[in-house]
Chain A
Amino acid sequence: MLTVFVAYPFLRGIYLSFLDSVVGREGEWVGFKNYIKLFNDGIFHRAAANTFIYTIIATILKLGIGMAVALMLNNIIRFKRVLRASMLLPWIVPTVLSALAWKWMFDPTFSIINWIFYNLGFIDVRVAWLGSPLGAMASVIIVNTWRGMPFFAITLLAGLQTINPSVQEAAAIDGATPWQRFRFVTWPLLKPVTMVVVLFSVIMTFADFQLVYILTGGGPSNSTHLFATYAYQLAIATGLIGEGAAASLCMFPILFLVVIGQLWYIRRGDGTKGGA
């Protein structure tokens, strides 16, 4: 099964990236030509930089907000189940659907965000949220954070609930402030879970496609293209299958290093904990 669904597409992708395939024609072996073309391609440079910016900022936001929400939910007694279930909504709604709803909210003419801000007196002209490079990038990051945060919150909440309350109580009796209890008790015990969540999130955010494709299509002027959206544009929209495969595979070594780095960090963390 693994061979069919993982190894074959992966190996086929590598093979295609060395061909000059276009739609409907297998193509001939061209060596590293596709990769060389990409490394000289300004749009690809932009997509690569965008992917890093998008992943780093969105992951930090998701971690920060997710942690805050998890801590809050851990202390809430009433309506616990309702709150947890409702918080998961952004995560369980199909991405395409929620992205379309956000696109409507960012619409320069009909944006409800504009309408609210206008009526509150914050703005006096309509803001084109997806119209400027900075605004578009900020918008896609916000939507990604909105969508991905529940994953962090629920997983961290699960982690929090495995922490023995007596440890917290002992720290409280010793006079630790809430911040100290978080910093020196909760955080170290939660770190392995956090690293795993961050690892998954980085992989998913780095390879994100749907949100950007629907919200901006990579525009305006390529300011929100990511590796995945640009690879798709090359391979499927433009028909340059070989180049698209190469663009897509450029993600692999980066993600591979990220995974190795984080797994190494987690293992080291486990070792420390085991020795303590």
Chain B
Amino acid sequence: MSEKKEKKSVSIPRRTFLKQAAVTTGALSLGGIPGILVTGQAPAYAKGTTLHYLKESHFVPAADKAFLALAKEFGKEAGCTVRVERITQNDVRPRTAAAIEAKSGPDIVHMFNNLPHLFANGIIDMDDVAEAIGKAQGGYHEVFKANAFQDGRWVAVPEFGFAWAWAYREDWMKEAGYDKFPETLDGLREFGKTMKAKGKPIGQGFGHSENDPNIYCYSLIWCFGGKELEADGKTVALDSKETIEAVKWNTAFWKDALDEGGLSWDDGSNNRAYISGSISATGNAVSIYFMARDKFPEVYQVTNHAHMPAGPAGRYLYLATQSTGVTKYSKNQKLAKEFVKWFMTAENYEKYFDAGGTFGLPPTKMWHDSTVWTRDPKCTVFRDVVDYSRAIGYAGPPSRKASEAYSKYIIVDMFAKAIQGMSAEEAVKWAANEYRKIYA
């Protein structure tokens, strides 16, 4: 399917869109930017103001382009300038922390995963914006709310999630005698064993990098029935036979099926390894596929996607989300909120969602029927990952302490230690002890 042809598709059914747009406009018509747009006049507080927006560079360049165009459009309508500062994803967290501590820097911050919990003291309530968007767009998926909602208040507005699935080489899979990508983890191990014997292992990173290593490792624990905490959010439950089984399985999977480079991989390593033909499959967002589509058509043609294979306890995925918050020190809070609200309205957000293809999973339910998901059947899988997704800290909330464990890479290191020779029992014990220190 050509890119041109893809772009022609309408993102969501017209009837749904009109309905939602009407509700959105109604919900937001009490004031703010919709009003601004109608009158065509910028409010006094906006004139000459520069809004500073800090976000990560999008993995899909077209989405960045769409975002910048929207920011410009808002600036024009509101009579202000929206300065978008884009940095690498791994740097957003330290940069935001430093800004909040120094009480100087961006007005709007784009926060990964459950960072809104970590930065809750440095960002303002977004109840009005988040509630209005949620109400207008069919409600939020639970995992998005979990990451942006704390102690009865919205501390950030959910923006999108990293839809993550397995990208695999369909041609090599068929050559190896498989009709379809394995549905279970044991099947995945067998498949990987076959592929590794052919010099095309599966790729999975276990380095200190935000996305892929964490997504895979947290998900694996849940697929085996393990969990970090009890539902009370305080009692550490990591040292269970289920977690030990997950670690044992992974160590065997590493030996049988995985590329040995994985211990030092960052989020980009598996993309490069896959594109270069070194590995036959890897868990990732759709960015690999898009990169192949744009630059490596021979890889694009033979790539397909599959759901996270199910473990003994079922199929689960840690879905990393992105939320937008406004800093407490900002002198432009009102305008910043207006921008977030304006950006998230269906009419504007659709442009961003459409440009990102199926990379970004919208936080609200109205987008489920969008044709963005179906215009390339190989990407439809990304729509449904939200159905079995969870947030970190499970079965407790994705709290600040869950964030601490996350940013110390305790779960990833637990698997890495076992790969390096520590027994599964010892590795799990080590990780559980680290958790206990955090949750003490």
Contact = CB atoms under 8 A, between A and B. Distances in A.
Interface of A: 22-25, 37, 40-43, 106-110, 125-126, 128-133, 136, 216-222, 232-233, 235-241
A221 B119 contact: no
Contacts of A130: 207, 263-264
A236 B97 contact: yes
Size class of the B contact interface (CB-based, 8 Å)? 35 or more
Contacts of B119: 23-24, 239
Interface in B246-290: 259-266, 269, 272-273, 276, 278
A239 B97 contact: yes
B276 A131 contact: no
A132 B419 CA distance: 10
A236 B97 CA distance: 6
Nearest to A241: B101
Contacts, number: 123
Which of B264, B408, B434 has the largest number of chain A CB atoms within 10 A?
B264
B261 A238 contact: no
Interface in B392-434: 400, 403-404, 407-409, 413, 416-417, 420, 430, 433-434
Nearest to A25: B121
Given A24-B122, A37-B437, A239 B400 contact: yes
Given A43-B434, A219-B409, A240 B404 contact: yes
A222 B434 CA distance: 13
Contact of B261 (A25, A108, A218, A240): A108
A218 B121 contact: no
B200 interface: no
B403 A238 contact: yes
Given A220-B207, A236-B97, A126 B261 contact: yes
11 contacts: A41-B437, A108-B269, A129-B264, A130-B263, A131-B262, A220-B264, A220-B413, A238-B403, A238-B404, A239-B118, A239-B400
Nearest to B96: A23
Given A24-B122, A131-B264, A217 B413 contact: no
Given A107-B269, A108-B265, A132 B408 contact: no
B408 A216 contact: no
Interface in B84-131: 90, 93-94, 97-98, 100-101, 118-123
A131 B207 CA distance: 8
Interface in B301-335: 328
Given A131-B261, A239-B403, A240-B404, A219 B416 contact: yes
A42 B430 contact: yes
A109 B121 CA distance: 42
Nearest to A134: B420
Which of A37, A133, A220, A240 has the largest number of chain B CB atoms within 10 A?
A220
A132 B263 contact: yes
Contacts of A40: 437
